[in-house]
Amino acid sequence: MALAHAEAPVPVAKISYILLRPRIMLVRVGSPEENAYWGLDELGVDVLRVRHPLPACARMQVTRPKVVILGEDIRPMDVAFIKRTAREIGAKIVQLGPLIARDALRGWVRSALNDGASPIARGTLRLAAR
């Protein structure tokens, strides 16, 4: 005679989602005044400032920024590490330099944040007029 076993109810997993603001990481970028010039505060993002490139790679893996902006004076070997990490997490990346139009950066950041859902999308940044 088989005993009727009442099956225990399957526990329902409660899934909670935490909505985080998008993040922008600045690696060895000058002064906080540049944030105001680019209007990063108005974009509704968290701005993460990192002084050294290699710790930036470790922080990128944890914080998952959508956009990474590199300063001009980063060694090419360190830029390669940062680019690889950015590619792994699907972040857009730009390195400041004499050919980058600073006034176009705000628009590029805005479009990169909007395209952030698609890691395949690539933003373009116009060159500065000489």
Instruction: List pLDDT tens digits, range 33-89.
Output: 666 777 787 888 899 999 999 999 999 999 999 999 999 889 999 999 999 999 999
Least confident of 76-85, 102-111, 112-121: 112-121
Q: Which fold has domain 23-102?
A: Rossmann fold (3.40.50)
For residues 107 and 126, the answer to whether their CB atoms sit within 8 Å is no
pTM score: 0.73
Strands 67-70 and 46-50: unpaired
Average pLDDT score over residue span 5-21 = 61
Q: Is residue 123's pLDDT more than 70?
A: no
What is the model's pLDDT at position 119?
44
